[in-house]
Amino acid sequence: MFDVEIFYKTELGRMAVSDRSYGLQQRMRAALILIDGKTPWVTLQSMLKPLGDPADIVENLSQLGLLESDHQLPPMPVIQPGTAVFSMPASTGPMSTNAASR
């Protein structure tokens, strides 16, 4: 998580706060109430600390679909060992003989 990351409630998260029948544990509901969509992660951590591990709380609420982040990234690709990550044709590199003769 990034220090400047902002977490906010999803529509489902807002419903879970207003409708106590969603079945959240009291500490998770309290955490969800504290998450206001304005407070950066660096500050939110200290606010959530009395309720448990802030990263675990946010992760659990996110997995339940109750929270999202302004820094949500798509899943990163899995790169197998020995796989070339970047490859450039030899003729286009800055040190190639073709580039030097241009």
pTM confidence score: 0.66
Yes or no: say if 33 and 27 are a contact pair by the CB < 8 Å rule: no
Predicted local confidence at residue 21, as pLDDT: 72
Predicted local confidence at residue 93, as pLDDT: 52
| Mean pLDDT per 10-residue section of the chain, whose length is 102 residues | 84 90 88 94 95 96 92 65 64 54 50
Bridge partners (DSSP) of residue 67 are 9
- Give whole-number Cα distances, 58 to 16, 20, 44, 75, 89, in Å: 15, 19, 10, 18, 44
